[in-house]
Structure 1
Amino acid sequence: MSLLSLEKVSFSYPESSEKKLDDINLELASGSFNVLFGKSGSGKTTLLRQLKPALSPFGKKSGLIRFDGRPLDELNLREQTEKIGFVMQNPDNQIVTDKVWHELAFGLESLGLDQATIRLRVAEMASYFGIQSWFLKDVQELSGGQKQLLNLASIMALHPRLLILDEPTSQLDPIAAGNFLETVAKINREIGTTILISEHRLQEVLPMADQVFLMEKSKIIVNGKPRDVGRMLKETKNDLFIAMPAPMKIYGSCDQGTDYPLTVGEGRSWLEKQTINTEEKTVEVNIPKTPPMIEVKDLWFRYQRTAPDVIKDLSFKVPAGSFYSIVGGNGTGKSTALSLISRIRQPHRGKIKLNGRPLNKFSEDELYHQFLGVLPQNPQSLFVKKTVLDDLFEITDGKQEKKSAAYPLKMSKEAAVAGIVELVHLEQLLDKHPYDLSGGEQQRLALAKVLLLRPKILLLDEPTKGLDDFFKQELGEILLKLKLQGVTILMVSHDVEFVAEFSDVCGLFFDGSLVTTKPAKDFFAGNSFYTTAANRMARGYFPNAVTVKEVIECLNQTQIS
């Protein structure tokens, strides 16, 4: 039985002739698990928000959306709130109270339920989601994973029939993301809640899906079961096959069959049936042997005088011209460490040097306009103008000339902006307000502003958040080109696949400090959880291969029958 159906739904934003949704037809069976994916800016978030009228953007809409057989517009606000839950990409955007237990009770109190019912549902959700140990905490003390779990629990306390999730794991570390998605699958499996989730990280979520929808250029171009969608993308040579799980990509490069493996376990089973020469080619790791561009020594930091230390005796060096990445769980202090290196915060003990000079010896102008480029976790903090183009010119301290040509960028500053626009694919977005862009498009705009500074050191905090796999690959190539030009890159990321493919060195952050630092290939080859799906799948045959590309190369060099 269908719980939700869309019939020829189209939508465009005010004063725009471009359709952000174009003739969308979609049907979700009651109790099903559905995945929506596509490139950044393809219309996924716009589509999801149409399904919750309270969140639907203003604009011109046509077509019909039915929920449980009724036109969606006929549901009153109370029915929407109770029956349709929505989890946003950024957990901080959805939390409205100061305490965990307040947040769990807030929606129920808003509906006017009696105290006995509220206490029962809050206790039930806290127990089901394992929140008991932090039930009385302040919300600001929670990690990103805990905040997102709290959002989910708060919504599930309302007993919705449809749960919509928009990139819910984009800010979570791999372990927290896996736990969160397992919880969503458990809700679907045990409670029968219908799930519609938008995701770029398909490794974990695709095997859970009953149905998959691919959006491209405001249309749904493919839908079906996960294996069928993967096979169709491979057969049609669609570039979004790059977004499929690692086992599927490895199988697709080596086998002409149709039984594509979805999980790491299925990928191992397929490998066991092959005849493989396990003699592995050694992967050479070339780390620049240069003086340190960033030097951190004996660093300590706490947010308040009486609070516990967040950074504890942190020491490490980043060689000039290298790509150094830091991974670790939510709340371990990674972003705080970047804020200290960028002088946004001051340590209460320890030293930081950039290119051999103490950090406090740099003037503001020299540090932020000649030396450092900082991409924060929240890209919106960089946006100050009303259009993308004006925002780009703002960072150059210059204004564009008013000319009648469609793309009048000819002077030096204009040429720089034109080049960066082409580099990060912002051509179609120049007249839009930065806040109207999708999460991935905002990330690209923020990166463009930072690169326009031409920094010697690039500090990146979760740069792949919200990006589709297609642009992630391009971002990696951009960063490698910058490295060849002598730029030193220090990146904090939860995206282990990206780190494994492009970084020189990787360190694991735990409890306020780096507990280990190794060449990236060695780091991921030796871990059980902080490693890639490709390595988990093939480590029995190629233990040093950590990326899909490396596993495929190893397979191509062996005898397979």
Structure 2
Amino acid sequence: MALAIEASDLGFSYPDGTRVLEAVDWTVEEGAFQLLVGATGSGKTTLLRQAVFAVAPVGERTGRLHVFGADPASRLPREAAQTAGCVFQDPASHIVCDTVERELAFGLQNLGVEPSLMRRRLAEVAHFFGIEPWLHRATAELSGGQQQVLALAACLALRPRIVLLDEPTAQLDPVAEKNFLHGLFRVNRELGVTVVVATHAPDVMADYATDAVALEGGRASRVPLDAFRPRLLRGSGARAAAPAGVGAGLAVDVRDAWVRFGKTSPWVLRGLDAAVPRGSHTALLGGNGSGKTTLLKAIAQVMRPERGSVKNALAKGQAFLPQDPRLLFMCDSTIEELQEWQRACGYGDAAVDAMLKRCGLESRVAVHPYDLSGGERQKLALAKLLLTKPSLLLLDEPTKGLDGASKAEVAGLIEEARAAGATVVSATHDLAFAHLCATQVALLFDGQVAAAEAPESFFCDNVFYRPLDDAFARCWRARHGAADVRARAEKGDAPGGEG
């Protein structure tokens, strides 16, 4: 079988001396659908970028890398664009045009494709991905998931031989995720395009893949796909005890809220009613574009309803984690980010050091936030907010881009904040996170809350929203199992103890 990618003894170091890849031997067969797995910060994004010279990171590369028989650096721009395409973690970073149609055409225009052929390519990809209804919409109004679909469609309009994707489903709802993967599967099988996906969610992709490679310690190794075969999550699992005062009044009360982006834009929230009890964790679920982020912004008073009311009793102590964590970064290093609000919020160096250790960022203190991996940026942004000890946490996709162990750490931090009295509202597509960590699940549909229930009743016999027993769920159980053993030991009633 011919090889799409062949790397031997491949190494890479960033300018600051950080060694990410170490003697990597990696092959991708032409026509394969390969999964690339590994912990947050293991170098998956760095490895993918080596195969596309236009986006290769600055640093020192050693060893040998060929994509379809040639070093990526040796190809002219037109040939390179038609050889390898990429879709990375932050879809907004791909988008340069103001409308969906112009974004789809942008790459073709740069290659000098004649107008009639360009129009045909646009029609093909728009129909293939079902994005014709938003063809004339402003890209700034798209949800994160819609931006992800647009980024893939624009990439495939160039007809590359291989597509490299970094966490492509992290911002997609469960139904959109299935549709996206099915479309990617068709691209792979029917069009013969080789696909490589770096992911922390191999469980949902295993049935589409042909093989898998794990990156650990800077080296690559084959892993069997059977290790990722999906199983449904059963039961409620370990759940945080309710803090004192939970349910004692409402933290957020939304009544008949009508919200849209502009006077001529369609309504996003249409007479929405919602109630968030103090001390609770409400997880907002719903399709891409259903209004989850808009509701968070309305609660945060970033967007105002044109009709109705949004009452936020904890507005003075709120903290907002946006979908793009880079919006919170203003400093030149990880440590400076965590120290930025020290004087205003009154926390000391010891708290910063403890948070760095808790988030596994001790070795990254001097690194610019933009040079961190997507998962590391996510953890840094949340850590920065938690140091302020907020009374209301508004979180937009808090677990995206994280491996199972890192998700468990982040979920633990959120749980501890709630145990200390914070109220949490999270918008998420991570069903296992919502199932195991939330106290209430609210499903948004047609601009309203279609259901608001306890996780156990919401997920029971649900046809479309079915959480998987993934790496996060297993880490979460292990974490709480160990905590239960310690608690019993402290009380003297652990197995073999007194009592």
Q: Deviations over 1:30-88 (max 9, x none)?
A: 11110101111110111111100110011111111112222332212221111111112
Provide the residue aligned with 2:225 in structure 1: 226
Provide the residue aligned with 2:16 in structure 1: 15
Distance 1:285 1:36 in 2: 33
Q: Deviations over 1:115-165 (max 9, x none)?
A: 332233223323333333333433334443333222222222222111111
1:258-273 matches, within 5 Å, as: none
Distance 2:289 2:312 in 1: 26
1:461 to 2:391 alignment: no
Compute the displacement of 1:470 (Å): 0.9
Provide the residue aligned with 2:135 in structure 1: 135
Share of identical aligned residues, percent?
36
Q: Deviations over 1:212-245 (max 9, x none)?
A: 111123222x314412xx2xxxxxxxxxxxxx45
Distance 1:337 1:112 in 2: 42
Compute the displacement of 1:286 (Å): 7.7
Count of residues paired in the alignment: 473
1:322 to 2:321 alignment: no
| CA contact 1:525–1:546 (8 Å) conserved in 2 | no
Match for 1:91: what amino acid? P
1:247 to 2:231 alignment: yes
| CA contact 1:312–1:513 (8 Å) conserved in 2 | yes
Question: Residue 211 and residue 4 in structure 1: after superposition, are their counterparts in 2 closer, same or farther (change >3 A)?
Answer: same
1:394 to 2:393 alignment: no
| CA contact 1:534–1:547 (8 Å) conserved in 2 | no
Provide the residue aligned with 2:84 in structure 1: 84
Question: Residue 174 and residue 249 in structure 1: after superposition, are their counterparts in 2 closer, same or farther (change >3 A)?
Answer: closer
Distance 2:20 2:237 in 1: 48
Choose from 427, 442, 446 the match for 1:507.
442
| CA contact 2:240–2:415 (8 Å) conserved in 1 | no
Compute the displacement of 1:483 (Å): 2.0
Distance 2:236 2:125 in 1: 51
Question: Residue 224 and residue 102 in structure 1: after superposition, are their counterparts in 2 closer, same or farther (change >3 A)?
Answer: same
| CA contact 1:246–1:548 (8 Å) conserved in 2 | no
Provide the residue aligned with 1:337 in structure 2: 295
| CA contact 2:389–2:417 (8 Å) conserved in 1 | no
| CA contact 2:5–2:29 (8 Å) conserved in 1 | yes
| CA contact 1:174–1:494 (8 Å) conserved in 2 | yes
Question: Residue 354 and residue 224 in structure 1: after superposition, are their counterparts in 2 closer, same or farther (change >3 A)?
Answer: closer
Question: Residue 298 and residue 98 in structure 1: after superposition, are their counterparts in 2 closer, same or farther (change >3 A)?
Answer: same
Provide the residue aligned with 1:167 in structure 2: 167
1:113-512 matches, within 5 Å, as: 113-220=113-220, 222-227=221-226, 230=227, 244-247=228-231, 288-355=246-313, 367=316, 371-397=317-343, 413-512=348-447
Q: Deviations over 1:236-287 (max 9, x none)?
A: xxxxxxxx4542999xxxxxxxxxxxxxxxxxxxxxxxxxxxxx99999987
| CA contact 1:372–1:459 (8 Å) conserved in 2 | yes
| CA contact 1:501–1:547 (8 Å) conserved in 2 | no
Q: Deviations over 1:92-132 (max 9, x none)?
A: 21122233332222222211222332233223323333333
Distance 1:491 1:499 in 2: 9
1:39-118 matches, within 5 Å, as: 39-118=39-118
| CA contact 1:291–1:319 (8 Å) conserved in 2 | yes
| CA contact 1:90–1:171 (8 Å) conserved in 2 | no
Match for 1:471: what amino acid? S
The more displaced of 426-435 and 206-215 is 206-215
Q: Deviations over 1:348-391 (max 9, x none)?
A: 23333344x8x6xxxxxxx1xxx112211111011011011111
Distance 1:307 1:248 in 2: 39
**What is the aligned-residue RMSD (CA, Å)?**
2.8
Question: Residue 526 and residue 507 in structure 1: after superposition, are their counterparts in 2 closer, same or farther (change >3 A)?
Answer: farther
SS in 2 for 1:533: coil
Distance 2:347 2:124 in 1: 62
The more displaced of 344-353 and 187-196 is 344-353
| CA contact 1:507–1:518 (8 Å) conserved in 2 | yes
Question: Residue 120 and residue 546 in structure 1: after superposition, are their counterparts in 2 closer, same or farther (change >3 A)?
Answer: same
Compute the displacement of 1:455 (Å): 1.0
| CA contact 1:14–1:60 (8 Å) conserved in 2 | yes
Provide the residue aligned with 1:527 in structure 2: 462
Distance 2:236 2:459 in 1: 17
| CA contact 2:286–2:444 (8 Å) conserved in 1 | yes
| CA contact 2:386–2:417 (8 Å) conserved in 1 | no
Distance 1:123 1:149 in 2: 15
Match for 1:467: what amino acid? L
User: Greater CA radius of gyration, 1 or 2?
Assistant: 1
Distance 2:145 2:334 in 1: 31
Distance 1:485 1:50 in 2: 44
Compute the displacement of 1:534 (Å): 5.2
Question: Residue 454 and residue 134 in structure 1: after superposition, are their counterparts in 2 closer, same or farther (change >3 A)?
Answer: closer
| CA contact 1:521–1:546 (8 Å) conserved in 2 | no
Structure 2: where are the runs of 5+ without partners?
A: 482-499
Provide the residue aligned with 1:254 in structure 2: none
Q: Deviations over 1:183-211 (max 9, x none)?
A: 11111110111111111112221221111
SS in 1 for 2:147: helix
Distance 1:500 1:516 in 2: 15
Match for 1:189: what amino acid? R
Compute the displacement of 1:175 (Å): 1.3
Question: Residue 398 and residue 340 in structure 1: after superposition, are their counterparts in 2 closer, same or farther (change >3 A)?
Answer: closer
1:2 to 2:12 alignment: no
Question: Residue 135 and residue 330 in structure 1: after superposition, are their counterparts in 2 closer, same or farther (change >3 A)?
Answer: same
Match for 1:463: what amino acid? P
SS in 1 for 2:388: coil
Question: Residue 490 and residue 412 in structure 1: after superposition, are their counterparts in 2 closer, same or farther (change >3 A)?
Answer: closer
Distance 1:88 1:137 in 2: 22
SS in 2 for 1:483: helix
Provide the residue aligned with 1:557 in structure 2: none
Match for 2:249: what amino acid? P
Question: Residue 438 and residue 330 in structure 1: after superposition, are their counterparts in 2 closer, same or farther (change >3 A)?
Answer: same
SS in 2 for 1:325: strand
Q: Deviations over 1:2-57 (max 9, x none)?
A: 121001110101131x3111111101111111010111111011111110011001
Provide the residue aligned with 1:405 in structure 2: none
Structure 1: where are the runs of 5+ without partners?
A: 231-243, 251-279, 360-366, 400-410, 536-544, 554-561
The more displaced of 97-106 and 483-492 is 97-106
